[in-house]
Amino acid sequence: MKSHQWAAIGCFFAGAAVALGAFAAHAFKSELSEYALCIFETGVQYQFLHGLALISLGCWQSRVPSRLLQAANVFLVLGIVFFSGSLYALAFMSWTWVWPLTPLGGMSFLVGWGLALVSLWRIRN
């Protein structure tokens, strides 16, 4: 995928996080327990932060093409889907079977950040 496409995906995730956060603060507040709302908000925070990371890494990749940055972006997207997605499912549907996806998403985030670190460390001026 091209660098600008990764940045666009990051914009989508960040924008969706803003919308989800607004819904949580207003529409969902009366429907969710305090615990479920906290779980949901954690998913929104991680989605937003990693959406911004995708935008940043996509922009960086346009200047310094790298397979490692490409892979880092894939893992960040997987992290958003598994980590934040599982938290949304837990908050709204109490699907306890999705719990294993949460640490899988967390590991995806860690792998993505690790790949980004190695890729950026290897850049030669």
CA distances, 41 to each of 5, 35, 65, 97, 110 (Å):
27, 10, 34, 20, 20
Contact between 78 and 39 (Cβ < 8 Å):
no
Q: What is the pLDDT along the chain (125 residues), one digit of tens a residue?
A: 898 999 999 999 999 999 999 988 888 778 889 999 999 999 999 999 999 999 999 999 988 889 999 999 999 999 999 999 999 999 988 778 888 999 999 999 999 999 999 999 998 76
Residues comprising the chain, all counted? 125
Total-model pTM: 0.93
